[in-house]
């Protein structure tokens, strides 16, 4: 694994540990901030993406690959919708269930806790970073 990827993974792990302690309000505020940033930067994102597409086209990249790279208004709106859907999902972090008194007298429960970071590799489709959160 390259040093660059290793560094990113270590930073992500630290960030994951820190953000795992966030309450629902703070998590949703973070996602809402991301939505606002994407909305307010939509034209800039499209403009820079068009430059990337032009450069890739000049380099002879196949049309099917170019299409996956395109970030247009519709795709950006879908990214925003995906983030909004995440906010609507009930936060089950630290939810306890199956509480039981053991023979020894102690009580045990199952608790949902964050377990770490998911590392994804993909060759194109810049919107996948946001889309993948729908499945986590």
* Boundaries of every domain in the chain: 3-135
Residue 38 has pLDDT above 90, yes or no: yes
pLDDT above 70 covers what percent of the chain? 93
What is residue 121's predicted lDDT score, i.e. its pLDDT? Answer: 75
Q: What residues contact residue 126 under an 8 Å CB cut-off, 6+ apart?
A: 49, 69, 71
Percent of the chain with pLDDT over 90: 58
For residues 73 and 42, is the Cβ–Cβ distance under 8 A? Answer: yes
Residue with the larger pLDDT of the pair 20 and 41: 41
**CATH class in words for 3-135:** alpha beta
pTM metric for this prediction: 0.74
- The number of beta carbons lying within 10 Å of the beta carbon of residue 120 is 7
Q: Which pLDDT belongs to residue 52? A: 93
């Amino acid at each position: 694994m390259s040093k660059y990827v290793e560094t990113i993974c270590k930073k992500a792990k630290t960030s994951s540990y820190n953000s795992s302690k966030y309450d629902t309000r703070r998590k949703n505020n973070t996602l809402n901030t991301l939505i606002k940033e994407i909305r307010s930067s939509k034209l800039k994102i499209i403009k820079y993406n068009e430059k990337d597409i032009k450069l890739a086209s000049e380099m002879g990249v196949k049309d099917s690959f170019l299409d996956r790279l395109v970030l247009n208004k519709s795709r950006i709106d879908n990214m925003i919708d995906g983030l909004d859907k995440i906010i609507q999902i009930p936060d089950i972090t630290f939810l306890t269930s199956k509480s039981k008194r053991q023979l020894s007298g102690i009580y045990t429960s199952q608790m949902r806790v964050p377990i770490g970071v998911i590392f994804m590799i993909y060759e194109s489709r810049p919107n996948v970073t946001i889309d993948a959160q729908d499945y986590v």
